[in-house]
């Protein structure tokens, strides 16, 4: 039984959570100095539960409010009730994903989700595992590709192995570059293939790059396409890339960390047409499927590679299932202990069903298109990239402004929006041009929120204009 004071704290916290979620305002960040002076960060002395409650309140007060419809800054936003329930359940049961014995229900849920997601990709007998994020998924895909091409490296290491080449696009996520380092391939052995004006990998350029690699005696072993690039939300031409990978027998990975959710939408799944031809797909549901961080699957056409690359000595103390047929998912995971990330996704999918979940994704697309239309209508905003998905990249360029000032001005307006608590929107660079990157990923967004955002962008821009013209 819980002691009375702990039970009271949990009840207080529950009502505070409801209060927090009904307030949608974002506040500008406090400075480091302010936070240090207002929250006692030091550890050492004990505290009572009243002090813990104060810390709880302060944490809520000073943390970025990502559930707000004014938060457009990242590739995730919003609040999921089923996600929250899933997280509570995961925490209070505190199961660990390595063995069936340890986490029977979660194991079966994970298998169900992996089958479902593999099926949406179009893999016939696919499977995979859940990992702590898109970066981890991309890493595991690259490791699998290396293991497939050079299985002996698992024991002998890379000493004495001739160079190997990785191919990604210039717009790929940086986790690809990090993975090359982590795997001992080396970042010099990555070829960043050119993209076209829209930001899509150019298939001919990929073909040439693979030939170049072969000519210099380096083994092409991994092509990483992106479905939903981080800045522009662009989808690489999957079918053409698949043909090239087939021609050279190179592992074909799709980083669909951001764009994988289009597979839920009948209207938009053609953006990933041909994805069944890949060997692996990373898919983050904590991005456009509204799950709390983290909830990422990495799916493989042939999942047996996972057991092969995880087959090391010393696991007998954990996996006792020699005489049973228990599915121990830990045998397919790089982690030992692993939290239950699947419960929240499973509950959300049970709640929406395929059709409603697909409609939610369609709604995000329509919010992006609405934002695009606001930019096209505006006299001072310029789109600087096509809107393919949920990323809307634009600059603020009032008449008479020197072209060299536009990027700086756009960022100044962005900072002012945040300082005033109007909105939080990120910025990025495309072909040397700094722009705002607006992301419409919150399921609760409606046109009024977008109208308000653009009204705030314009009023802040006019307010700052005199300093720039």
Residue ranges binding ligand PLP (CB under 6 A): 75, 133-135, 173, 175, 226, 228-230, 255, 257-258, 284, 296
**CB nearer to ligand PLP: pick between 213 and 296:** 296
d(CA 256, CA 75): 12
Burial of 327 (0-12, 13-18, 19+ CB in 10 A): middle
Minimum Å distance from CB 77 to ligand PLP? 13
**CB nearer to ligand PLP: pick between 135 and 332:** 135
Minimum Å distance from CB 384 to ligand PLP? 19
Which residues are within 8 A (CB) of 203 and not within 5 positions of it... i.e. 6 or more apart? 237, 240, 241, 243, 244
Q: Which residues pair with 129 in a beta bridge?
A: 298
**CB nearer to ligand PLP: pick between 174 and 351:** 174
d(CA 129, CA 362): 27
d(CA 171, CA 169): 5
**CB nearer to ligand PLP: pick between 147 and 437:** 437
**CB nearer to ligand PLP: pick between 30 and 269:** 269
- Give the residue closest to ligand PLP by C-beta: 134
**CB nearer to ligand PLP: pick between 168 and 413:** 168
**CB nearer to ligand PLP: pick between 228 and 330:** 228
Three-state secondary structure call for residue 193: strand
Minimum Å distance from CB 123 to ligand PLP? 20
CA torsion 255-259-265-271 (nearest 10°) is -80
Query: What tokens were used for 406?
Result: 């536009």
CB atoms closer than 10 angstroms to residue 342: 28
CB atoms closer than 10 angstroms to residue 56: 15
Minimum Å distance from CB 86 to ligand PLP? 17
Minimum Å distance from CB 294 to ligand PLP? 6
Q: Check: CB of residue 345 under 8 Å from CB of residue 112.
A: no
Q: How would you classify the pairing of strands 381-383 and 391-396? A: antiparallel
Minimum Å distance from CB 232 to ligand PLP? 11
Minimum Å distance from CB 57 to ligand PLP? 28
Minimum Å distance from CB 132 to ligand PLP? 8
d(CA 128, CA 126): 7
* Displacement of CA 197 from its chain's centroid (Å): 24
Tell me the CA distances in angstroms from 5 to 9, 90, 92, one per residue in order: 6, 23, 18
**CB nearer to ligand PLP: pick between 213 and 391:** 391
Q: Check: CB of residue 109 under 8 Å from CB of residue 327.
A: no
Place of tokens 């955002």: 453
């Amino acid at each position: 039984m819980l002691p009375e004071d702990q039970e009271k704290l949990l009840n207080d916290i529950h009502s505070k959570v409801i209060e927090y979620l009904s307030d949608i305002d974002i506040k500008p960040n406090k400075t480091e100095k302010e936070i240090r002076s207002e929250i006692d960060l030091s550890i050492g002395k004990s505290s009572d539960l009243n002090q813990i409650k104060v810390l709880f309140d302060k944490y809520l007060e000073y943390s970025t409010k990502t559930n707000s419809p004014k938060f457009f800054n990242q590739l995730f936003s919003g609040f999921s009730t089923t996600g929250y329930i899933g997280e509570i359940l995961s925490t209070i049961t505190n199961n660990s994903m390595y063995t069936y014995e340890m986490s029977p229900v979660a194991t079966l849920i994970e298998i169900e989700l992996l089958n479902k997601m593999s099926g949406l990709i179009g893999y016939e007998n696919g499977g995979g595992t859940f990992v702590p994020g898109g970066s981890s998924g991309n890493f595991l895909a690259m490791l699998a590709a290396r293991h497939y091409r050079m299985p002996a490296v698992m024991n002998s290491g890379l000493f004495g192995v001739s160079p190997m080449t990785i191919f990604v696009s210039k717009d790929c996520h940086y986790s690809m570059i990090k993975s090359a380092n982590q795997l001992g391939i080396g970042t010099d052995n990555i070829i960043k293939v050119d993209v076209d004006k829209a930001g899509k990998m150019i298939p001919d350029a990929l073909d040439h790059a693979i030939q170049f690699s072969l000519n210099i005696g380096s083994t092409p072993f991994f092509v990483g396409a992106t479905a939903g690039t981080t800045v522009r939300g662009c989808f690489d031409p999957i079918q053409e890339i698949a043909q090239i990978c087939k021609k050279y027998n190179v592992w074909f990975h799709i980083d669909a960390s951001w764009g994988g959710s289009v597979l839920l939408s009948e209207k938009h799944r053609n953006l990933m047409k041909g994805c069944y031809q890949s060997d692996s797909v990373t898919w983050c549901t904590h991005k456009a499927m509204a799950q709390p961080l983290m909830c990422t699957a990495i799916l493989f056409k042939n999942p047996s590679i996972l057991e092969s690359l995880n087959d090391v000595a010393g696991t007998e103390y954990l996996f006792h299932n020699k005489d049973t047929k228990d599915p121990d998912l830990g045998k397919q995971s790089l982690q030992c202990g692993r939290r239950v990330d699947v419960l929240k996704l499973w509950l959300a999918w049970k709640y929406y069903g395929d059709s409603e979940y697909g409609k939610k994704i369609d709604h995000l697309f329509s919010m992006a298109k609405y934002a695009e239309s606001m930019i096209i209508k505006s006299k001072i905003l310029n789109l600087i990239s096509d809107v393919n998905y949920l990323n809307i990249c634009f600059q603020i360029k009032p008449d008479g402004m020197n072209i060299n000032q536009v990027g700086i001005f756009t960022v100044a307006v962005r900072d002012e929006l945040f300082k005033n608590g109007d909105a939080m929107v990120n910025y990025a660079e495309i072909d040397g041009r700094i722009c705002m990157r607006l992301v419409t990923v919150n399921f609760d967004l409606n046109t009024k929120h977008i109208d308000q955002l653009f009204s705030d962008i314009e009023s802040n821009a006019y307010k700052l204009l005199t300093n720039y013209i």
